[in-house]
Amino acid sequence: MAVRLIIFWLVLAAGFGWAAWFVARAPRRALWVRIGVAAVLLVACAVSFLMYGADLEKNLGSVILYFVVWSSVFGLSAACAGTILGTLAALLIG
């Protein structure tokens, strides 16, 4: 199961990376801003991974919120990583 999730995350990241590379026809300054915003969001995902869930009260609401937060972090971290790599590739290649 974990291998499937890793493969799915890599496919998401690759898709966002390709999309970021494809639309990276903006001026260079705008691309660096995009990289900065995506990097801040990626760091926020990592921090939430370390901080969230340590002191949760165990009830149905917290379990539902736990899965909503982690599914959001899963997709957002893939989008951020793909955006960073795709935009950097557009900066370096094009």
pLDDT, one tens digit per residue, over 35-62 is: 888 888 888 877 776 666 565 667 777 7
pLDDT for residue 89: 87
Q: What is the mean pLDDT of the chain?
A: 81
pTM of the model: 0.71
pLDDT, one tens digit per residue, over 6-22 is: 888 899 899 989 888 88
Q: Which of 67, 81, 71 is nearest to 11 (CA)?
A: 81
pLDDT for residue 32: 84
pLDDT, one tens digit per residue, over 59-79 is: 777 777 777 777 888 888 888
Q: How far apart are CA 88 and CA 94, in angstroms?
A: 10
